């Protein structure tokens, strides 16, 4: 039979055309969507497999039972629910990596988080083409050349100090904002991006040297180009700032010595500073319509502006720079060194002293206060007459009032978690 897209002769049972890459029904040979679960022409159902570990999954699965890959996740641009495999969010239109779900720029040819390569495709038949192709090898359509920056003009972008250090045999660590010339097409490439936006040439994010697609380490400085997320095992590029699978963030500049950090960022290789504190919650950050940066609380999942720094629902303090959960007494983030956000305060309605929001007693005059609205109450009040908040302790199952030290409800027997 022949491929319905490019007319290439293929064998019965093939599910992908070797010439143009069109997904095919192995039963009847009809063209199908890459993520189709059944053939629209003959109705045969397809087996589904996890794209990461190839384990067989069910149609309604949201998480792979074998490797934990999430098939439904919040859009990194706006937070709307997105299915893995979509290259664009239906809610905000933001570009996404179909392999891992990370946020992409419109001209990205390589995912900065997982390294997936998207390549160039023919505008007529969608077959994959190379940068040097003048005609499509599948359908013969003429291809317009890309307008690339001249190599001669970009060659001056490599700093002389870096070249001298490389000659002397030292490990060159370029600034994250350093721009170098792509050795393949001459376009300007930001070192921190790790990939040329025009021709998809991989660049070492530490020294700016060109690396082969299959390389595991940089041949110039020896940097490991990928690493596994310590939290979920997802494979990431050395300069990735966030894991798209579990949301864990990674420091890329040590707050102690200001040196650039690569890989899992557990400890600074230069000064030995701990960059990830074991057991601490870390918030994730997302953009709303590409304008407003929001924080997703790691404790209660509430969303609020990143600049606020204190969750309005559970009052957890979070570093506005790296997202680390902070103790109440920590004035500065122990991981990135940023100043911690101040807890919101209000004036005691009795004496006017400044108190933290949520206080149930004034530390200055001893007045009993409602922790919800801050109003003054009698010492034996069980309900705030202003906002209606219930005071004291109640069983979450049956509503029975219990004592502060109770571990079991006397009415329904449910056990309480010890805070």
Of residues 59 and 266, more confidently modeled: 266
**pLDDT score, position 224:** 92
Of residues 236 and 50, more confidently modeled: 236
**pLDDT score, position 249:** 75
Provide the sign of the torsion angle of the four alpha carbons 139, 141, 145, 146, taken in this order: negative
Mean confidence (pLDDT) of the chain: 79
- Residue 393 parent element (H or E): strand 393-394
Report the C-alpha gap between 201 and 228 in whole angstroms. 22
**pLDDT score, position 126:** 64
Evaluate if residue 131 carries a pLDDT over 80.
no
Confidence of residue 351 (pLDDT cuts 50, 70, 90): very high
Q: 74 and 82 in contact (C-beta within 8 Å)?
A: yes
**pLDDT (average), residues 28-35:** 84
Confidence of residue 395 (pLDDT cuts 50, 70, 90): confident
Point out the least confidently predicted range of 185-194, 226-235, 291-300.
Answer: 185-194
Confidence of residue 159 (pLDDT cuts 50, 70, 90): very low
Q: Tokens standing for 139? A: 């359908």
Beta bridge partners of 376: 369
Evaluate if residue 118 carries a pLDDT over 80.
no
Confidence of residue 227 (pLDDT cuts 50, 70, 90): very high
Residue found by looking up tokens 């990143």 in the block: 306
Point out the least confidently predicted range of 58-67, 225-234, 244-253, 320-329.
Answer: 58-67
DSSP-assigned letter for residue 367: -
User: pLDDT digit string (tens) for 295-322?
Assistant: 999 889 899 998 889 998 888 999 988 8
Percent of the chain whose predicted confidence (pLDDT) is above 70: 87
User: pLDDT digit string (tens) for 271-285?
Assistant: 888 877 777 888 888
Q: Please name which of 237, 258, 271 lies closest in space to residue 99, comparing C-alpha atoms.
A: 237
Q: Please name which of 305, 103, 91 lies closest in space to residue 297, comparing C-alpha atoms.
A: 305
Report the C-alpha gap between 225 and 237 in whole angstroms. 6
Confidence of residue 151 (pLDDT cuts 50, 70, 90): very low
- Residue 167 parent element (H or E): helix 160-167
Evaluate if residue 162 carries a pLDDT over 50.
no
Residues in Cβ contact with 39 at an 8 Å cutoff, skipping those fewer than 6 apart? 25, 27, 28, 30, 32, 46
User: pLDDT digit string (tens) for 36-45?
Assistant: 778 888 988 8
Sorted by where each begins, the domain ranges of the chain are 389-419
Write the CA distances from 135 to 21, 184, 195, 199, integer angstroms. Answer: 17, 20, 25, 17
Residues in Cβ contact with 24 at an 8 Å cutoff, skipping those fewer than 6 apart? 3, 4, 10, 14, 15, 16, 17, 30, 31, 32
Given the DSSP bridges, would you call strands 188-190 and 179-181 parallel, antiparallel or unpaired? Answer: antiparallel
Report the C-alpha gap between 84 and 97 in whole angstroms. 9
Q: What is the DSSP string of 257-282?
A: T--B--TT-SB-TTT--B-S-TT--B
**pLDDT (average), residues 351-367:** 88
User: pLDDT digit string (tens) for 190-226?
Assistant: 887 788 877 778 888 888 888 888 889 998 888 999 9
**pLDDT score, position 297:** 92
Q: Please name which of 110, 143, 109 lies closest in space to residue 129, comparing C-alpha atoms.
A: 143
**pLDDT (average), residues 121-125:** 68
Q: Which residues of 179-205 are buried (b: 16+ CB within 10 A; e: fewer)?
A: bbbbbbbbbebbbbbbbbbbbbbbbbb
Report the C-alpha gap between 334 and 1 in whole angstroms. 64
User: pLDDT digit string (tens) for 79-112?
Assistant: 778 888 788 888 888 888 887 788 888 777 777 7
**pLDDT (average), residues 220-248:** 85
- Residue 160 parent element (H or E): helix 160-167
Q: Please name which of 323, 101, 113, 108 lies closest in space to residue 238, comparing C-alpha atoms.
A: 113
Point out the least confidently predicted range of 142-151, 328-337, 400-409.
Answer: 142-151
Confidence of residue 418 (pLDDT cuts 50, 70, 90): low
Q: What angle do CA 219, 222, 225 make, to 5 degrees?
A: 90
Evaluate if residue 119 carries a pLDDT over 60.
yes
Given the DSSP bridges, would you call strands 56-57 and 376-377 parallel, antiparallel or unpaired? Answer: unpaired
Evaluate if residue 153 carries a pLDDT over 70.
no
Strands (E), 3-137: 48-49, 56-57, 72-74, 81-83, 120-121, 128-129
Point out the least confidently predicted range of 90-99, 109-118, 387-396, 406-415.
Answer: 109-118
Point out the least confidently predicted range of 21-30, 159-168, 176-185.
Answer: 159-168
Confidence of residue 165 (pLDDT cuts 50, 70, 90): very low
């Amino acid at each position: 039979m022949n491929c319905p897209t490019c007319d290439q002769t293929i064998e019965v049972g093939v599910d992908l055309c070797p010439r143009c890459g069109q997904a095919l029904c192995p039963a009847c040979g009809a063209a199908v969507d890459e993520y189709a679960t059944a053939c629209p022409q003959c109705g045969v159902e397809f087996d589904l497999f996890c794209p990461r570990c190839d384990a067989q999954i069910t149609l309604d699965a949201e998480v792979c039972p074998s490797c934990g890959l999430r098939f439904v996740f919040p859009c990194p641009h706006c937070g709307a629910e997105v299915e893995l495999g979509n290259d664009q969010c239906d809610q905000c239109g933001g570009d996404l990596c179909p392999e891992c779900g990370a946020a992409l720029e419109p001209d990205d040819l390589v995912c900065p988080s997982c390294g997936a390569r998207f390549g160039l495709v023919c505008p007529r038949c969608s077959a994959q083409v190379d940068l040097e192709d003048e005609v499509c090898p599948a359908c013969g359509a003429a291809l317009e050349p890309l307008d690339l920056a001249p190599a001669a003009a970009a060659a001056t972008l490599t700093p002389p100090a870096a070249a001298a250090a490389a000659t002397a045999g030292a490990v060159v660590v370029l600034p994250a904002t350093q721009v170098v010339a792509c050795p393949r097409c001459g376009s300007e490439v930001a070192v921190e991006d790790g990939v040329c936006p025009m021709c998809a040439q991989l660049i070492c994010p530490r020294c700016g040297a060109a690396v082969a697609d299959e390389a595991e380490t940089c041949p110039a400085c020896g940097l490991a180009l990928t690493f596994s997320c310590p939290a979920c095992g997802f494979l990431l590029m050395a300069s990735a700032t966030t894991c798209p699978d579990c949301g864990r963030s990674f420091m890329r500049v040590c707050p102690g010595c200001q040196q650039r950090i690569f890989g899992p960022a557990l400890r600074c290789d230069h000064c030995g500073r701990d960059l990830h504190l074991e057991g601490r919650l870390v918030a994730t950050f997302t953009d709303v319509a590409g304008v407003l940066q929001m924080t997703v609380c790691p404790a209660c999942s509430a969303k609020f502006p990143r600049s606020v720094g204190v969750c309005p629902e559970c009052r957890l303090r979070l570093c506005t720079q790296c997202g680390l959960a902070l103790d109440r007494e920590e004035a500065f983030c122990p991981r990135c060194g940023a100043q911690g956000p101040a807890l919101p305060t209000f004036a005691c309605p009795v004496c006017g002293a400044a108190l933290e929001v949520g206080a149930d007693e004034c530390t200055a005059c001893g007045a009993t206060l409602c922790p919800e609205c801050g109003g003054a109450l009698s010492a034996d009040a069980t309900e705030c007459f202003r906002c209606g908040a219930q005071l004291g302790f109640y069983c979450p199952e049956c509503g029975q009032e219990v004592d502060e030290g109770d571990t079991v409800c006397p009415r329904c027997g449910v056990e309480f978690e010890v805070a």
